[in-house]
A and B are shown apart, each in its own frame.
Chain A
């Protein structure tokens, strides 16, 4: 009887706790600096962190498999360089964009293939490929920035829409990223590929014995990470109008942090795409909050770390209590 009662009880989605932490942070910063809550501020904040959010949404796949990719920042960089150089060379903008995304996919597939062939964890393989992709990027752009400055290029709707020259109530990049999250969520939780990813992360040996082609799925997941990083690269190029040798260098920590804060465990077997979006927003709110509250630069790194630990703590307390009830 009591079991029946429990099953009928409304269940909050698993992202509830992390959404609670986000609302809490926004509320606290907003109550102390009301200008923070201006809609345009919040939208610009979300737009600024949208590319790292997109990557966080995709790295959930790899974390769910118990793997981690260290090279996606440099895949993003090199994809943007490929697209940018193609545009400068006179290749039509949309074909250049496609080239950048395909380049990202190839780099991701190389990561996956190397991990499978060498029978090594992805983290070790990508430790090496990250440097390779960075090196190729530096050689390709002669260690300088890639800036498509031609007026005809800048007039293309790709640059105008992403660069904010076309007025939309919500930044275009944000609309695109939210749409991508629907696709990523659907693919992880509603398709055979997604179930297989989660099954491999839950128990790789059992997945193999159940007939899941684990090697192929691993390569596909890495390719997906590459494609999404490539999309991130071309979005960056359109959003900022240039790509620098350092672009993507510092993405690893905020992206992985966003996925973990969002509720995806490092141990694999589970993952929440929407949680990673909220996690990315938490990372963003902390960054913006530090500036709005006027916290001195010397203190900001410490405060960032403390607030991240605390956000995870709030999430964990709520999660553990929820599990105890069920």
Chain B
């Protein structure tokens, strides 16, 4: 009997070892190379289409710059779990870390890592007080723009009626800033009554249900305005389910689902925040500063720009080449096309990142 127990323990040991060894086999292949830089890339949520676009861009930068990239992040957006992931990255010996900062409770921990000598660049979510550059949109300004565009569609300053506003993550600083901008613009029409901002949830199914409920409760709403990536697609589906709906749908991000909603006319405006730059630029800044031995332990703002997309027009930031809606749709599904389109930007705006670094106050100006 004792022999059997020993046998089963050894079997368990061997199987566990095999599992971990197999798992480590999916590690990025170049990590064994001794002098190659390794960059950690930590996102606030895994499995989100918009975040995937950022991750893909970061991987393109790693390939272009011949560095290894390790990508990680919690399955659900939560600051403490993400900070732990960043700390684990630092402990594993990476040369630099790019991370979004969705929570104020991450600030002290990130500054401790920076102080210990690992450079950090923030992207997409800004941690106020982190001693590191930030790559992202001008959040309040983009909110103002979205609010203005929606207002123009519903009759301008003389518009009268309800406008539903949804925030998928109340408390997330960048979203709160967008919300501030949207409300600021909508309030310019005294006849517009804001419904919300309501919590419309991040999960796509819950997001759709929330928008469905909001429209059912406010059937005469002039517009639905979302602040997160899943909103435009959900709003489109909700509109499609109501025959003859004239409710204007607006929101953020250029995921394949959002572009499809614009293309079939069930949603009308979506602002992009150039996920390519939000993924590519942090990796570039880290690698460039490490190779040139430049310290980046200070705050600063690198604007990733705002893309303005309607079913009839696409306006890309930084005077990029003109783009049709169909080309944009093709790009959203192809890394190769995306990399080719932004090549000029890589050779100018990205390369000259030091010149483009602005005071952090500009982010929320």
Contact = CB atoms under 8 A, between A and B. Distances in A.
Interface in A22-36: 24-25, 28-29, 32-33, 35-36
B91 A144 contact: no
Determine chain B's interface SS by DSSP, over half rule: helix
Contact of A292 (B28, B78, B88): B88
Given A28-B17, A297-B72, A310-B15, A250 B88 contact: no
B55 A25 contact: no
A299 B26 contact: yes
A228 B205 CA distance: 34
A216 B245 CA distance: 57
A164 B17 contact: no
A24 B16 CA distance: 8
A287 to B, nearest CB: 7
Contacts of A292: 88, 91-92
Contacts of A32: 20-21, 24
A20 B40 CA distance: 31
A43 B257 CA distance: 44
Interface residues of B, number: 61
Contact of B24 (A247, A293, A297): A293
Contacts of A20: 9
Contact of A244 (B8, B17, B27, B171): B171
A203 interface: no
A143 B176 contact: yes
Contact of A324 (B1, B9, B75): B1
B46 A301 contact: yes
Interface string A141-152: 101110100000
A244 B169 CA distance: 12
A222 to B, nearest CB: 24
A249 to B, nearest CB: 5
Interface string B68-104: 1011111111111101110111011100000000111
B24 A314 contact: no
Interface string A276-302: 000000000001111111111111110
Contacts of B75: 250, 301
A44 to B, nearest CB: 7
A262 interface: no
Contact of A33 (B72, B92, B106): B92
24 contacts: A35-B92, A44-B87, A45-B88, A48-B87, A49-B84, A138-B171, A144-B173, A240-B109, A242-B105, A243-B105, A244-B102, A245-B172, A246-B103, A247-B78, A294-B92, A295-B26, A296-B26, A296-B27, A300-B46, A306-B19, A307-B19, A310-B16, A322-B5, A324-B1
Interface of B: 1-2, 4-5, 8-9, 12-13, 15-17, 19-21, 23-24, 26-28, 31, 40, 43, 46, 55, 68, 70-81, 83-85, 87-89, 91-93, 102-109, 112, 169-173, 176
